[in-house]
Structure 1
Amino acid sequence: MTAASVDQSATTDSLASPKQVVVFDLDGVIVDSFAVMGEAFSIAYAEVVGDGPAPFEEYQRHQGRYFPDIMRIMGLPLEMEEPFVRESYRLASQVEVFDGVVELLQTLQDRGLRMAVATGKSGVRARSLLEGLGLLPFFAHVIGSDEVARPKPAPDIVLRALELLDAPAEQAIMIGDAPTDLASAQGAGVACAAALWAGPDEQELLAAGPDAVLRHPADLLALLPALTGQR
């Protein structure tokens, strides 16, 4: 497989229908925020829990979920959310966009596809981050986990994106880097692609049954030709 090709062995019939909308996860797909996330988590842990190493590796295994849900799963105090969010805002200028993502978003926009973000972050924080990076105008909607009844892995956030985009499930594809992203898409009846450029646990992600595997942002372009009337 070449560096700029989709892993065809992992594609499925769910991709047969032409797509008009793309729903992206945020962290690990559009932005590389893991260093910032790790620092914010460590500071929050020290403030609320106390001394000792912050279990950030375990936290990362639950990526895609809403922060309070992760705290409940890990048995950590919900009070960690306030300092975690505070530090995430403080360090936001250190978050970087993955190489090739801006070009991908511009090409998809030029091809006439509409885009949304469905993230484990709160909606306000996600929109603030994207605005600071100059990416917010690419997305018709940015939906946070606090803006739906049930966050990922439930399908609610993807269903909400479809509702806002006024698109049927068969015309959509979700791009995620965690099993929770793929489960949310699958529950909504939406095709899903595994994004591997952030270096997630590949075997765990493949075991979640994505419809396509993308090793580089540009790989998505092979699945999404221009809509009729677009260049």
Structure 2
Amino acid sequence: MTIHTVLFDLDGTLIDSLPLIQKTYQKVFDLMQIPWGNAEVMTLIGLPLKEIAVQFAGEDRWEDFLKRYQYHYALEHDEMTRMYPGTLEMLEVLKDKGCSMGIVTSKSRAGALRSTSYLGLDRYMEVIITAEDVTRHKPQPDPVLKALEEMKAQAQTTAYVGDSPFDILAAKQAEVVSIGVTWGMAEGKQLARHEPDHLLEGWEDLFGLI
């Protein structure tokens, strides 16, 4: 069945923000004297920042972690945030095809809107679903279902595109078409283990599905 609605994850999918995210985490871990270890925190990208803060800083320090992260992330946001090559062109193609588009991210609303506004992504999106919009987050289906509800879209003609296993799992539970990209957080082999409906090596692979 042809896809009429495409939902996108943000970090690691549309925007190349992973170096900034890692640099910010390393700074906060150092300031708070939290062992960096084997960079396990990077495997959790896609979860809400609060959940990550609680896991690594504990119930007594998570708010301090959160504030420090948001401060240091904002300092270098504009310098270190950019779109992946071909992203803008891909959005133009989908727009020309009459496709409806939205973003489903675990990022805070303030952070998501800053990135999408700075890069000009917001003008393509009918909805931007963020961490504040649902109580259960990816890998639960709730954020994807929220987007479907707001866009009045049908699951069977909707795809969710993301770079992490959390995205694939959320898409499957929401019963939309699950599409993984190989240029973000997880390698293609890791995503393939979760059996997405499609795996993109480049944005051009998406056009034949729309």
TM > 0.5 fold call:
yes
What amino acid is the match of 2:152?
A: D
**Which residue pairs with 1:5 in the alignment?**
none
Q: Is the 8 A contact 1:197 1:217 kept in 2?
A: no
**Identity between Structure 1 and Structure 2 (%):** 27
- State the alpha-carbon separation in 2 of the partners of residues 146 and 40 from structure 1: 21
Please list every run of 5 or more consecutive structure 1 residues that lacks an aligned counterpart in the other structure. Answer: 1-16, 225-231
**Which residue pairs with 1:80 in the alignment?**
65
**Which residue pairs with 1:37 in the alignment?**
21
Q: Is the 8 A contact 2:136 2:142 kept in 1?
A: yes
Alignment equivalent of 1:213, drawn from 189, 195, 199: 199
The equivalences for 1:66-145 within 5 A come to 66-74=48-56, 76=58, 77-78=61-62, 79-93=64-78, 94-145=80-131
**Which residue pairs with 2:42 in the alignment?**
60
What secondary structure is seen at the aligned counterpart in 2 of 1:45? helix
TM-score (norm 2): 0.92
Q: CA deviation at 1:75?
A: 5.7
Alignment equivalent of 2:148, drawn from 148, 158, 162: 162
- State the alpha-carbon separation in 2 of the partners of residues 208 and 146 from structure 1: 27
Please list every run of 5 or more consecutive structure 2 residues that lacks an aligned counterpart in the other structure. Answer: none
CA separation of 1:223 and 1:191: change in aligned 2, threshold 3 A: same
Q: Deviations over 1:9-54 (max 9, x none)?
A: xxxxxxxx2211100000111001011111211222223x22x753
**Which residue pairs with 1:150 in the alignment?**
136
Q: Deviations over 1:47-105 (max 9, x none)?
A: 3x22x753472111112111111233446541311111112222111211000111000
What amino acid is the match of 1:157?
A: P
TM-score (norm 1): 0.84
What secondary structure is seen at the aligned counterpart in 2 of 1:60? helix
